[in-house]
Each structure stands twice: as C-alpha cells, then as structure tokens.
Structure 1
C-alpha cells in the first residue's frame, strides 16, 4: 500500500490560513500522515532514527513550509541536515530513499509578480530553492513539480479555495502515480 508523509514545518501554524486549509483538505485521506516538525520538536532535538524510520515507511514525501527570508524555516533545515545523512539518504549504494516521490509545497507572503527578474525579489521563487532539486538528485528521489502559493495572507477566499483544491488533487494524483511506479 502506498503511503504519503507530509513533513510540515511552520513555526506559526496558527497564523497561516493557507497552510491550515491545505492540511484540513487532506484530513481523512487514508495513508496520509501529517508530521508537524514544530509540534514534535519544539526544542529542536530531532530523533534522527525515528525520522528515518518514518521516511522508510512512506512512498511519497511532501515537504510543506512557508518561505522565510528566501529559505525554509530553521527546524526544517536542521531536520534536513541531520535526517538525510550520508549512509542513509545518500552515499555509495546507500540511497535508502531511492525511488520515493518528493513533492515540495511552499507558501509565500509576497505576490507572484515580485518573484521575477523585474520584481523586487529579482528571480523566480524556485531559484531560491535549488537545494530541493539537488536533494532529489543526490537521494535518487522522483521529484514532482513544486507547488507554490503566493500572497497567501491576502488571497480572497475563492482564490485560496481553488488553490487548496489543486493542492489536494495534486497530492492524490502523485499518490496514484507512486502506486503505479
């Protein structure tokens, strides 16, 4: 049976309407586990063995977080550094996650047009997150296209609801794709 692990890292979950709605939209889907890093590790002391076991039990790994100063939240970075270690996630004949799916989901407070050459951020959002592409390659993960929600705090309810529906549908589609190889 194919299983999804959502590694969720938001230090202020209660203030994120978009992330709360996305997670609510996948509640009740069988074989989907939401793993909130900030709730699990408020002290930042990550249980590496437990995290690695979780990864091994799932077929599609979703990393979901807000954009913080052109980067991921600090605890997610700590998780990546410790959990995806040499001899587990990568290394000569040590790619224990090989073939699993990887889907990156990000929310940004700024409008999409600001993430362009002529925008205030001077480049697309994906340019700030090249590490995910490298992570997928080094760990032999099958990367699905990133899902990005922009201007999330200021979206109308209708626009946000459509984005959330797309998020849910993409997750179900990628889950199905992982089921069939």
Structure 2
C-alpha cells in the first residue's frame, strides 16, 4: 500500500474553517499522514532530518495550503528552503523524490472568474502555481494538476462538504498513481 504525506500550511490553523475541513476529510484515509507544519514548527525551526525522513518514508506528497499573495504561506516556503536541499532533493545525488507524485490542494478566496485573464487577479491560479511545477521538475517529482478550492470566502457548509469530499477522492487517487 502506498503512503501519502499531506503537508498542511496555514498561518492560523485553528481559525481556518476551510483548511480544517479539508484536513479532516483526508486524515482518516488509510496510508495518509497529515503533517501540520505550523503545529510542528510554530517557531519556523524546521527539523530537516525528520522532514527528509518523512519524505523518504512516503510514496506521494500533497501540499495543502491557502493561497497567500500568489504563493504559499511562509511556513511552506521555509520548509522548502530547509528540506529540499542539494544532494537530497536535487543535484547529481539528490534523487530522493524522483518519481513521487506531487499534488497541490490550494484554496483561494476569489472564485474561478477572479483568477482568469479577465478577472481581478488577471491570471489563472494554475499559472500562478508554476513555481511549484518548477520545483517538481527540479526534484524529479511528478507534478499533478493542482486541485483548487476556489471562492472560499462565500462557501456554504454544503459546498464545503462537497469540496472536502473531492479532496479526499483526489488524495485516494494517489494510491493508484
């Protein structure tokens, strides 16, 4: 059975209605490890050896986060800087992540129209996530199309439940990826 590491990154995990629902949808799935970065590292001091061991012991990686300033929350950026090192994640001997699927699950306050050429943000969210695809390319990971949960500022409880179920389905699909 595959093991899937779900890294969550939210500045205020206790205040997030949406990310909490998404986390709770995937937490009970067999073979899934949910790792909440802000709970583990509120001081941003990443335990690199522990994080690299987690990556090595899992077959797929999911990064789950809200879109902040067209990127991820700072804790995920810090995690990338600290953990994805030369000789581990890239370089001639940095092959530890080769072939592992990378799935982004990203929530946005704006809806799909806001993230379009004609919308408020002027670019589709998938285009704004291209640095993650570049990271996957460098580390030899298999970048999957991002799963976007959009318009969360106006999400009803019923719609949130549907979105959470969709995320669980997407994560379960990684078992066969």
TM-score by length of 2: 0.96
After TM superposition, what 4+ stretches of structure 1 lie above 2 angstroms from structure 2?
Answer: none
**Partner SS for 2:46:** coil
Quote the residue 2:71 is aligned against.
71
How is 1:67-146 mapped onto 2 (pairs within 5 angstroms)?
67-146=67-146
Q: Is the 1:18–1:153 Cα contact (8 Å) retained in structure 2?
A: no
Aligned to 1:153: 153
DSSP-derived class of the 1:148 partner: strand
Alpha-carbon offset, residue 161 of structure 1: 1.6
Spell out the pairing of 1:160-171 with structure 2 (5 A cutoff): 160-171=160-171
The alpha-carbon deviation at position 153 of structure 1 amounts to: 2.9
Q: What secondary structure does 1:163 align onto?
A: helix
Deviation at 1:6, TM superposition (A): 0.5
Instruction: Report SS of the residue matched to 1:112.
Output: coil
Q: Tell me how far 1:28 sits from its aligned partner.
A: 2.0
Name the structure 1 match of 2:41. Answer: 41
Q: Is the 8 A contact 1:67 1:107 kept in 2?
A: yes
Cα distance in 1 for residues equivalent to 2:108 and 2:14: 16
Structure 2, gaps ≥5 residues long: none
Superimposed CA distance per residue, residues 10-65 of structure 1 (whole angstroms, 9 cap, x where no aligned partner): 01122222211111112222211000110000111111111000000000100010
Matches of 1:176 and 1:16, distance apart in 2: 30
Q: CA RMSD in A?
A: 1.1
Deviations 1:98-145 (A, max 9, x none): 111110111111122111111110111122221111111111111221
How many Å apart are 1:152 and its aligned residue?
1.0
Select the structure that is richer in helix.
Answer: 1
